[in-house]
Amino acid sequence: MRAFVLFRLGGLLQIGVAVVTAGTRQPHSLAVVSLAAVITAESLGLVALAVRRHRVPPATLIALDVCLCVAGLFVGAVLARRQDAHSWGYFMYPYSLLAGVGIGLGMRPGLSLACGTGVLMGGYIGSALTELGDPVWNVIPNSLTYVCNIAIAAIVAHTLRRDGRNLDRLSMRLAHEESRRAREQERARQARLLHDRILQTLETLVRDDRKLDGVLRDRLVAETGWLRAFVRDGEAEPCDDLEEALRLLAEEKTLAGLRVELHSEQLRTAARGLPPPSVATVEAIVGAAREALTNVQKHAAVDRAVVRAELTDGEYIVTVLDHGRGFIADASAAGTGVRESIKARMAEAGGSGTVESGPGDGTYVELRLHATAPSTGDGGTGRRVGPGQR
């Protein structure tokens, strides 16, 4: 915008100097003064618009400006023909050279820019050849000055626009990041307060179980687990959907009285830089894990379970383990139902589910599902040898 205004004012200065300089030698006709006044008024109008809007005027106004310039070139040439055509009297040529920069600044590179440049060049060539009678060898090189000016202006404007867009993007990202950091800091502060004032005391009470009766202790265990999960969530690194979904599941079950330990660091590390799993993959795994945990709640007679999530050889492996009373999967109706349901759920998604259990041995559920996208292969970072892999 500033470049547009400065070049335009430079053009007007050119007119002012030309009119004053030529006027001192020979009085101007009314037509010359009128032309200078019209061009000045139009230019000041465009400058005012640019300053007010803080941007270069729209391409349509620039196109009208070009037309006026061309008309001015012809009128100026007719008026200058009566005088010395190469004196200050033909002020429209230098003015149009500077005004032409506006085309480069205001029009996007492309057909409209080429047309604007061509029209302005044509206007000059036509007026110089027909009205002033300048030789072709002089007119053609002169007209190329328009191309140079407009091309440089267009390149500069394009570069500035691109850098401006990048700057806007970066500023937006920075603002977003600062806002996120502020939220995290506030959350960390609240977490610190909750931790220092409440959580440590609650956990001490829970551990010292001689002082509490069963029901109250169970409730306290659930609430403490929830608070621990809430407080810890404040420091959680960005995680993929599967980990987040499992974390929510663990919190849900902890609130319901089953304390779920979720171990997902290996998954987070191995999945870093890979595309997230599909929604169907997450839903299948989390649905099956929920079923397994519900089974622990109902039948295992324990209040703890361990969920482990990993990504090994491009395969998501989620396990659910409890050290409860277990069941004989093949004989128990409930156990058969759970086993078949988990197997069917995983098979439907293209994976597999196994349930191992025996009286007194707890229950172990293993869910496996390959990452759906072919590019979600291991990539070398998470390739570890795990149980049952050999």
Partner 1 sequence: MLHIAVLDDHPVARHGLKSMLAALPDCDVAVSVASLDEARAALGDDPRIGLLVADLYLDGGRPSISAISEFAERLPVLVMSASARRADVIGAIRAGAAGYLTKSSSPELFRSAVMTVAAGGFFLAAELADLLQAELAASAATIEAVPRLSDREEETLSYIARGFTHAQIATRMHVRKSTIDTYVERIRTKLQVGNKADLTRAALRRADAAEPRPDTQ
List 89, 225, 326, 351, residue binding partner 1 (CB under 8 A): 225
Helices (H), the chain: 2-25, 30-53, 59-81, 92-99, 101-106, 111-126, 136-194, 200-207, 214-233, 241-255, 265-271, 279-295, 333-348
Minimum distance of partner 1 from residue 368's CB (angstroms) = 13
145-171: b (≥16 Cβ within 10 Å) or e: bbeebbeebbeebeeeeeeeeeeeeee
3-class DSSP state for residue 266?
helix
Query: Which range in 35-43, 60-68, 109-117, 302-310 contacts partner 1 by CB under 8 A?
Result: 302-310
Map residue 306 onto helix, strand or coil: strand
| Residues in 20-79 that interact with partner 1 by CB under 8 A | none
Q: Which is nearer to partner 1, 161 or 232 (CB)?
A: 232
CB of 243 to partner 1, least distance (A): 12
User: 21, 204, 255, 301: which one contacts partner 1 (CB under 8 A)?
Assistant: 204
Distance in Å, CB of 319 to partner 1, minimum: 5
DSSP labels, 57-95: PPHHHHHHHHHHHHHHHHHHHHHHHTS-TTSTT-THHHH
Single residue of 185, 257, 298, 359 touching partner 1 by CB under 8 A: 185
Task: Confirm if 272 and 381 have CB atoms less than 8 A apart.
Answer: yes
Q: Does the protein bind partner 1 through residue 213 (CB under 8 A)?
A: no
**380 contacts partner 1 (rule: CB under 8 A):** yes
Residue 207 found at the interface with partner 1 (CB under 8 A): yes
Using CB under 8 A, count the residues that bind partner 1: 50
Question: Which residues does 237 contact at the CB level (< 8 Å), separation at least 6?
Answer: 268
Residues in 248-277 that interact with partner 1 by CB under 8 A? 259, 261, 263-266, 268-270
Minimum distance between the CB of residue 220 and partner 1, rounded to whole angstroms?
13
Closer residue to partner 1 (CB): 31 or 236? 236
**Which residues lie below 8 Å from residue 224, measured CB to CB, with a gap of 6+?**
199, 202, 203, 206
Largest distance between two CA atoms of the chain: 118
Among 82, 192, 219, 298, binds partner 1 (CB under 8 A): 192
Gap between the Cα atoms of 368 and 388, Å rounded: 11
Residues at the contact surface with partner 1, assessed by CB under 8 A: 185, 188, 191-192, 195-196, 200-201, 203-204, 207-210, 224-225, 228, 231-232, 234-235, 259, 261, 263-266, 268-270, 304-306, 308, 310, 319, 321, 323, 361, 364, 380-387, 389-390
